[in-house]
Structure 1
Amino acid sequence: MHAFRAAVEAGDADAIEALLAEDVVFTSPAVFKPYTGKAITAAILRGVVRVFEDFRYVREINDTGGRDHALVFTARVGDKQVTGCDFLSVNEDGLIDDFMVMVRPLSGLQALAEAMGAQFDRILADAETGSA
């Protein structure tokens, strides 16, 4: 997951998007129903890059087969410090086909959900146009 981690840490939205499978399933910590597809997942991740401050990965866990990965991170949303984990699975082409995020504490998740909700119209527009 070095390429994904490097792209996220560099804030390179195009490189992040290039690592997503067309049929990627993104599971948000804040909504019940997963999002399916590269365009909406990339748009959500661009939104997250805008919302998170002081983001950094602090730990990486990989399975021995190389398909499943967990990237533990810390970040700030406004005045709330959060800890989270990106759970990623890759397909046979090495592209991310499953992306689930967990975030704690609850107050940080609530701040994240509010910040993302405030820009969700922009996220949907970005998904339709494929732009940042």
Structure 2
Amino acid sequence: MPDTSPSAATTIARWRAAGERGDADAAVACLSPDIVLSSPLTGQFRLEGSDQLRDFLASAFTAVEDIHFHTETGQGDTYALVYRARVGTQPFEEAQLLRLDDKAHIREITLFGRPMPALTALMTTLGPELARRQGRRGLAALMRASTAPVHAMVTFGDRRVVPLTRPSAIRT
């Protein structure tokens, strides 16, 4: 029987297209059944298996909008992709480290995001959305209430305090 597995290039192209369309089902089709995702927000959050990833991706595509990949590099079974998007009004950039299995399905995803205000905006949106999808409305409200002050502090600091630390022009 011939091997009908996709090539690495095909999987990566499908993954990118699914992300840019916000299509969780198409993204899940790129995944290995034993997929593992490591969160950029906390070491306490790790997803395993395509069922967990389906809910996560559906929630993520609600929170992260206008995804446009701009960089791709890799070979063999390891690729890095980078995109720009927005979370609410915050510009967001994420790097994804993808490792593929022997059938060219994604078996491991490690995410890295910036800037901090976008990450905290993501935290206040994604966590509650994921909890709501799981039917845990009380937890969704608690997550929103506990993350909103962190987001407010980070956003204030980024807009008002951090600019004060930029080097000024040297006066002679």
Q: Distance in 1 between matches of 2:79 and 2:134?
A: 27
In angstroms, what is the RMSD of aligned CA positions? 1.4
Paired residue secondary structure (2:103): coil
Alignment of 1:10 with 2:42, yes or no, is: no
Q: 1:123 to 1:89 in 2, by over 3 A?
A: farther
Q: 1:123 to 1:28 in 2, by over 3 A?
A: farther
Give the aligned partner of residue 118 of structure 1.
128
TM-superposed CA distance for 1:12, in Å, is 2.4
Alignment of 1:47 with 2:79, yes or no, is: no
Alignment of 1:20 with 2:28, yes or no, is: no
Larger relative contact order, structure 1 or 2 (CA cutoff 8 Å, min sep 6): 1
**What TM-score, normalized by structure 2, do the two folds share?**
0.67
Paired residue secondary structure (1:9): helix
Q: Distance in 2 between matches of 1:106 and 1:6?
A: 26
Which letter does structure 1 place at the counterpart of 2:34? D
Residues 80-114 of structure 1 deviation map (CA, whole Å, 9 limit, x = unaligned) = 11111111111001111001111011111111111
Larger-Rg structure: 2
Give the aligned partner of residue 30 of structure 1.
41
Higher helix share: 2
Q: Distance in 2 between matches of 1:2 and 1:120?
A: 26
Q: Which of the residues 91, 100, 115 maps onto 2:101?
A: 91
Which letter does structure 2 place at the counterpart of 1:115? T
The answer to whether the 8 A contact 2:80-2:98 is kept is: yes
Residues 13-37 of structure 1 deviation map (CA, whole Å, 9 limit, x = unaligned) = 2211111111111011112132111
The answer to whether the 8 A contact 2:55-2:130 is kept is: no
Higher strand share: 1
Q: Distance in 2 between matches of 1:3 and 1:76?
A: 21
Any stretches of 5+ residues in structure 1 without a counterpart? 126-132
Paired residue secondary structure (1:119): helix
Paired residue secondary structure (2:134): helix
